[in-house]
Structure 1
Amino acid sequence: MTQSDIVQKLWNLCDILRDDGINYSDYVTELVLLLFIKMEYEQTQSDSRFAHRLPEGARWPDLTGKSGLVLLNHYRKMLLELGQSHDPLIAAIYADAQTRLKEPRHLEQLVRNLDELDWFSAKQDGLGDLYEGLLEKNAGETKSGAGQYFTPRPLIDSIIRCIQPQPGETVQDPAAGTAGFLIAADAYIKQHTDELFELPLEKQLFQRRKAFIGIELVPGTRRLALMNCLLHGMEGDEEGVVRLGNALGQTGASLPKVDVILSNPPFGTAKGGGGPTRDDLTYKTSNKQLAFLQHIYRGLKPGGRAAVVLPDNVLFEAGVGTDVRRDLLDKCNLHTLLRLPTGIFYAQGVKTNVLFFQKGSPDDPYQSEGCTKRVWIYDLRTNMPSFGKRTPFGAQHLKPFEDAYGSDPNGNSPRTENVEGAGETSRFRCFTREQIRERGDSLDISWLKDADSLDAADLPAPEVLAGEAMAELTEALRELDQLMQALGAGDEAEQQKRMLAEVMGFEVGTGA
C-alpha cells in the first residue's frame, strides 16, 4: 500500500466525523488528536530512542481494549491528562485539546479503522511524511483557513535546494504554519549527513534541539506543527520547534539573529489578526507582508540568507512599500526573484513570488548600503499551464529555474539570460540597480508577452471597438423587445424604450 493510499484512507475517516456533526474545517484537528496517539505507539515499537513517550494510561492500547461510553469518557480523560503532561512538548501538543465527538460508536469506528491500517508500509516511508501528506490533503480539500496558503511541497523542496541549509546553521520560519519549510530543511541536512550520523554527537543534538525555530500565531496550527516536527525527529527546546506567538509582536522582536530564514507569510492586512505591534521595525505599516519582510532581513546574521514567498503587491506598493524595498536593496543583496505561476496555492488567483537575498554584499557581509547591484528575475508565470488538480504543479516545472539559479546558495554562480529563449523572450533576465531605480524601485517587472492575450498594437482603433459594442447592444435590445412582445408585455416594452430614448436624447413615436 502506497503512502497516498494510506493518506486517502485516513481522509476517508472524516466521513465518521461528519456523521458526528463536526465541521469540515475541524476534520484534521479532530483526527490528529487521536492519530498522534496511534503514531506515537507505532514509533515507540520500532524506535526505542523516541524520547517523548506518552504517559501510562494515555497510550494507544488503553483505547483499543475499551468500547462504548467507557471508551469515550476515557479518551476525554486522556486528552486532559496529556495536556498536563510532565513532558513540556507533549503538554504543548495537547494544550486545551478536547474532542467534539459525542457518539461512542463513532470513536470506536475511528479506533478500529486506525488499527486496521497498514502501519508496516506507513513506517517504511516514515510516519512524519505520512502525517504531512494528511495535512496537504486537508489543505487541498478544505481550501479555508491556513490551508488556503499551504505552501506546495515541490516549491518548498526547490527553495531548499537553492538555499542549501547546512549543519550547524540556525534556520527560522517566522510564519511557520505546519512547519513545512523547517521540516524540509531538516530533511535536506539529514540527506547529506546520513541521517546526522556523520556528525559528532554534540552537533547531532544541536540539530535536533537548537537548529530550527518557528513562530506560529494560531494555537491549532501550532499543535499540528509540533506533531509534525516530533514525528520527523525534531524536538526543539522546551517550547518545541515552533513557538506560539506573533512574529510581528514581542515574540518576534526577542528572537536571536539566524543564518537562514525561509517563510511564506500569511496574505492580508492587520485586520485579519496578528498585525504588527513591534516598535523596532523602521517602517510602520498595517501590511503584514511588508512587516514580515522587514523582520526577515533585519533578523539575518551578517552574510545570512533568506527565501520568502510574497504576493505581487509587495513588489509595487507605493509609500511604505517603496521605502521597505529600498531598504532591502540597500541592506541586502537581492540577487534573485522568481515569479511563480498562478493556481499553485489553494487560494485561487493569488499571484506570488519568491525573493532570494543575502544580508550584506557578496564582498562584505557587514555592508549596510548599496548591497544590491543587480537582480535576476525568472518569469515562471507567463505562458505556463493553468495548474490545479488536473495539472498538478511539480518539481519538473521548477527544474529549469534551479538550473538557472546555479549551485551557489547566494546567487553567485555564473548565469546567462538565454533561458527558453533569447533576449526579451528569455524567461531569465538581469536588471541593474539603476534600471530598478528608474522604475521607482518597483520590482514588478515583466517582459514576456502572454500568448493568449492580444498585443495592443494589433487591436482595432478605439472608435471601431466602441462601434462594435454599440451594435451588439442594439441587437441585444432588439431581441429583448421581440421577446417581451411575444410574452404579451408590449406595453412594458414600449415604456422601457421611451425611458431609453430619453436617456439617449432620441424621440420615439408610438406605433400605428
Structure 2
Amino acid sequence: MVRSKPAAKMSPQATLTAVIKSAREAMRKDAGLNGDLDRIPQLAWLLFLKAFDGLEESREVTEDRFRPAIESPFRWRDWADDPNGPTGEALLKFVNGKLLPYLRGLSGTGAHDPRDVVAAVFKETTNRMVSGYLFRDVVNKVNEINFTSSDDIHTMAHVYESMLREMRDAAGDSGEFYTPRPIIRFMVHQVDPKLGEIVLDPACGTGGFLVEVLEHLAPRVKTAQQQRTLHSNLRGIEKKPLPFLLGMMNLVLHGVGHPSIARGNALASPITQIGKGQRVDIVLTNPPFGGAEEVSIQANFPAGKQTAETAWLFLQLVIRQLKDGGRCGIVVPHSVLFADGVGARIKEQLATECNLHTVIRLPEGVFEPYTAIPSNLLFFDKTGPTKDVWFYEIRPPQGRKKYSKTKPMRFEEFADCQAWWPKRVENERAWRVPIADIEANGYNLDLRNPNQPEDLTHRAPIDLLAELVQTEREIIALLEQLEEGIGDAQ
C-alpha cells in the first residue's frame, strides 16, 4: 500500500498571499475594475476596515473608557463577518448608500481621534465593484485574514508592500509616489533618527520613508509610552488621494493605529507662516519633480525664489521646516545641481542657512523604468552655514552600466559609502569642495570627480566638441605628413 505524503504546511506569508490572490482573482471578473490601479485601492480600503476593526477589538479589551470609532451596524464585524451575510444588490446598496457616506461623515475631537483618521481615509474612497456577488466573494476572502495577531499584521504588511510594488509597475508615469526601498533604507540609516525626534515626509506617497523609520527605531522601543510617542512622531503630508489611502493602510498594517498623515498639498501655505512650533527634527523625502505648480502656490514663496518646478519649492519648504539642529535627506533631480537663476539663489540659501555636508551621486537607471531622470541625494543639517561639501559617487557593480526593472539597485551596493561616511577621506569615489569654490562658480554643484580620469558624462558638450575638432585636425595633419612621406619616397 502506497501512503500519500501529508501536504506541506504553508507558511503564514504563503497562506496570506494565497488569500490575497484569490481575492484579486474575484476582482478581475468584475466589470467595474480596470487593472491593478483599480483593484489594489479597492482591496486596500477593505483591508483597512478589517484591520481597523481588529484594532478596535483590542482597544475594547485594554481601554477602560473605550468608545468605538465606528458604531454598529457599520463595523466590519456587523456586515462582513458572516460569509452568508448580505450579498448581491442588497450588499451594494448598503455599502454605497450607507456605509461609505457614514465613514466619510465621521468627525472626532482632534488629537489623532481615530474617527478623523477614518473620515480622512474615506473622504475620496469609492466602491468600484458593480457585482454584489463578486464583492461578497472578495469580502469573504479578506475576512480570512486575522488582524488581531501582531505576527499576522507584520506578515500582511510585507504582502501589502509587494502589492505596492506591483502597483508601481502598473502605474507607469503615475508612479511618482514610489522610491526604491534600498534608497529609502540608505537615507534613513545615514540620517539615523532617534527616539523622541519628529520625522516628516512632506510628500509621503505610500509612506515608504515613515515605515522605514518605524522599522529602524522599533528595536529601541522598550515601553508602551515610547511606542505611542514614536507613532505620533511619524508625520506625513500627501497631495493625491490614491497614495494617501495606500500610505494610511501601509502604516496601519505596520501597527500604527492612528497614522499622522495629512491629506493636502504641503506647499499650499506661505512658508513664512511655518513657526518654530511647527518645525521638525528630521525631514526624509523624495518630492515630485518635473511638476508645475500653479501661480497661487508659487506665491507662497519669496518673490526672488518663485518657480513652477516642484523640486525647488520643496527644497525651500524643507529648509524652513527644520528645527535648529535638524537633519534632512532629500532626493533631487540632477538639474538641481547645475541650475542657475532661481535655482542658484535657492542653493545659496541652502548653503547659507544649512550645512550641506554630502551630495551622493546616484548611478543611471536607479528609478528605471519609471523615470530616466538622473537623481542625487542631498544630506544637510541646520547647524550653521556650509563650509565644505563632500561628493560621493555610487557606481553600478562591475559589468553593469545602469539599472533596470529586472535588475534594480540593491541596498548592499551602498556598503562602501556607509563605510566611508564617518571617516570622510578623499578617494577615487569621494572628494571635498570648499564652499568658497562653489560660491565662485555660481553655486554649481555638478562637479567632476577630480580623483578619476575624465568622464565624458560630466563634461560640457562644447568642450567635447572642441576636443573632437582638435583630434580631427591632428589626424588630418598626420595623414598629410604620411602623404608627403610617400610622395618623397616615389
TM-score range with shorter-chain normalisation? Answer: 0.7 to 0.9
Q: Does 1:109 align with 2:162?
A: no
Deviates more, 1:89-98 or 1:61-70: 61-70
Instruction: For residue 167 of structure 1, report the CA deviation from its aligned partner.
Output: 1.6
Q: Which residue of 1 aligns with 2:265?
A: 246
CA distance in 1 between partners of 2:183 and 2:72 (Å): 41
Task: Provide the C-alpha distance between the structure 2 equivalents of 1:30 and 1:130, rounded to a whole number of angstroms.
Answer: 16
Distance 1:121 1:269, change over 3 A: closer
Please report how far the alpha carbon of residue 431 of structure 1 lies from its aligned counterpart in structure 2 after TM superposition: 1.7
Q: 2:300 aligns with which of 259, 269, 278?
A: 278
Correspondent of 2:88 among 46, 68, 84: 68
Determine the structure 1 residue equivalent to 2:336. Answer: 314
| Aligned-pair CA distance for 1:258 | 1.2
Paired residues, what number? 433
Residue 148 of structure 1 and its aligned partner are, at CA, apart by 3.6
**Aligned in 2, Cα 1:40/1:274: closer, same or farther, shift over 3 Å?**
farther
Distance 1:38 1:162, change over 3 A: same
Which residue among 374, 388, 393 is the counterpart of 1:374?
388
How much is the aligned-residue C-alpha RMSD, in angstroms?
3.5
Letter aligned with residue 352 of structure 1 = S
Contact 1:156-1:181 at 8 Å conserved across structures: yes
Which of 209, 223, 237 does residue 181 from structure 1 map onto?
Answer: 209
Residues 11 and 134, structure 1, Cα contact 8 Å, conserved in 2: no
Asked whether the 8 Å contact 2:426–2:432 carries over to 1, the reply is yes
Contact residue 344 and residue 443 of structure 2 kept, 8 A: yes
**AA at the equivalent of 1:247:** A
Point out the more displaced range, 456-465 or 153-162: 456-465
Question: Match of 1:257, as an amino acid?
Answer: R
1:40-189 equivalence runs, <5 A: 40-43=52-55, 54-61=70-77, 62-63=79-80, 64=83, 65-76=85-96, 77-86=98-107, 87-116=115-144, 123=152, 125-145=154-174, 147-189=175-217
2:438 match = 436
Secondary structure, aligned partner of 2:327 = strand
- Contact 1:229–1:241 (CA under 8 A) maintained in structure 2: no
Question: Does residue 10 of the first structure (1) align with residue 20 of the second (2)?
Answer: yes
SS of equivalent to 2:408: coil
Residue type of the partner of 1:375? Answer: V
3-state DSSP class of the match of 1:72? helix
Residues 29 and 286 (structure 1), Cα distance of their counterparts in 2 relative to 1, 3 Å cut: same
Deviation, 1:334, is 0.5
Q: Distance in 1 between matches of 2:315 and 2:299?
A: 15
The Cα of 1:129 is off from its aligned counterpart by 3.9
1:206-258: per-residue Cα shift (whole Å, max 9, x none)? 3333x23222111332222222223333356xxx5111222222186654111
Distance 1:134 1:55, change over 3 A: farther
Post-superposition offset of 1:158: 1.2
Q: The residue matched to 2:343 in structure 1 has which SS?
A: helix
Uncovered stretches (5+) of structure 2, i.e. residues with no partner: 1-10, 108-114, 477-490
1:32 aligns with 2:74: no
Quote the residue 1:482 is aligned against.
none
Structure 1 residue 186, shift from structure 2 partner: 2.4
**Residue 400 of structure 1: CA displacement?**
1.6
1:9 CA drift (Å): 6.2
- Indicate which of 375, 393, 400 corresponds to 2:416: 400
The answer to whether residue 352 in structure 2 is matched with residue 330 in structure 1 is yes
Identity of aligned residues (%): 28
Work out which of the residue numbers 15, 19, 23 in structure 1 matches 2:34.
Answer: 23
Tell me, in whole angstroms, the C-alpha distance in 2 between the residues paired with 1:7 and 1:276.
Answer: 45
Distance 1:327 1:15 in 2: 53
What do the CA deviations read for 1:255-282 (whole angstroms, capped 9, x no partner)? 4111111111101132589953414576
Q: Which residue of 2 aligns with 1:509?
A: none
The structural deviation recorded for 1:132 is 3.2
8 Å contact from structure 1 (residues 80, 98) kept in 2: no
Match of 1:417?
426
Change (3 A) 1:436 1:58: same
Q: Deviations over 1:400-441 (max 9, x none)?
A: 2222223xxxxxxx32222xxxxxxx1122222233234321
Structure-1-length-normalised TM-score: 0.74
The change in CA–CA distance for 1:336 and 1:263 in structure 2 (over 3 A counts) is: same
| Cα distance in 1 between the residues matched to 2:405 and 2:22 | 18
Distance 1:186 1:254, change over 3 A: farther
Change beyond 3 A, Cα 1:204–1:287: same
Q: Letter of the aligned partner of 2:267 in structure 1?
A: L
Q: 1:37 deviation in Å?
A: 2.0
Q: 2:286 aligns with which of 248, 258, 264?
A: 264
Q: Counterpart of 2:282 in 1: which secondary structure?
A: strand
Query: What does 1:185-264 align with in structure 2 at a 5 Å threshold?
Result: 185-194=213-222, 196-197=223-224, 201=225, 203-209=226-232, 211-234=233-256, 240-250=259-269, 254-255=273-274, 256-264=278-286
**CA–CA distance in structure 2, aligned partners of residues 114 and 450 of structure 1:** 57
Tell me if the contact between 1:172 and 1:212 (Cα under 8 Å) persists in the aligned partners. Answer: yes
Structure 1 runs not aligned, ≥5 long? 362-370, 407-413, 419-425, 467-512
More deviation, 38-47/314-323: 38-47
How does the TM-score come out when normalised to structure 2?
0.78
Q: Which amino acid counterpart does residue 34 of structure 2 have in structure 1?
A: N
